[in-house]
Amino acid sequence: MGSTSTSDIPWVFFNPKTKKPPVSIFYAWDSIRKKVGLGEVRLHDLRHSYASFLVNAGRSLYEVQKLLGHHDPKVTMRYAHLSPQAMLEAVNVVGNVVGQRPVVANQAAVAATV
């Protein structure tokens, strides 16, 4: 029986024994996250984090929508969670436009409204 070289395998990720692509990456992810101490973090949770990081860094919901491949912006809005700091900065933009002092609020008060 001849051996198959990896150049004959069309997949980037494959089982070295079967030369087939994985059906699921659950067991590999489960092993990795346990080794690095991530607890019960799902890959899908990382998608939400990615969207939130982008929005909190000032990227538009339209940009995040396109990056995540969403067709409906409502789905993207459920993914993107604004931080309390981002909410304070948004309020201060309006305050600066109308010539008022920036709003100073404690984080607990802002977090309670989110």
Write out pLDDT tens, residues 66-83: 999 999 999 998 888 888
pLDDT tens digits for 35-62?
Answer: 999 999 998 999 999 999 999 898 999 9
Helical spans, DSSP H, in 21-106: 26-35, 43-56, 61-68, 73-79, 84-97
Where along the chain do its domains lie? 82-114
Q: Do 54 and 64 form a contact (C-beta atoms < 8 A)?
A: yes
Give the C-alpha separation, 17 to 19, whole Å. 6
